Amino acid sequence: TLRKPKAGDLRGLTLQDVLQSDVAALIKLLPRISSPALTEHEASELEADDLAEIGGTVFGFFMTPAQKAVIKQLTG
């Protein structure tokens, strides 16, 4: 399970890197927001498609309700 990051979870990371799903940023962030917590090593061993999906989930945490509504409307 992933939870929305808090400010402290983003320490040492740039929002730009997180929102661009930068691999290194996601690997550092995942242990801070996953339950049960993944280690950085476990995060680095994820399949690329799984990491991409996680990046999309993390990006979604930063979307406004209006942005989410547009996405929902476009995807049905």
Give the bridge partners for 61, in sequence order. none
Instruction: State which residues form the domain around 29.
Output: 7-75
pLDDT, one tens digit per residue, over 19-48 is: 999 999 999 999 999 999 999 999 999 999
User: How far is residue 9 from each of residues 26, 31, 73, 74, measured CA to CA in Å?
Assistant: 11, 9, 31, 31
Does a structural domain hold residue 11?
A: yes
Count Cβ atoms below 10 Å from residue 32 Cβ, excluding itself: 17
Looking at residue 8, its pLDDT comes to 98
pLDDT, one tens digit per residue, over 38-74 is: 999 999 999 999 999 999 999 999 999 999 999 999 9
Looking at residue 22, its pLDDT comes to 98
Does a structural domain hold residue 2?
A: no
* Number of domains observed in the structure of the chain: 1
Looking at residue 76, its pLDDT comes to 82
Written as six digits, the tokens of 2 are 């992933």
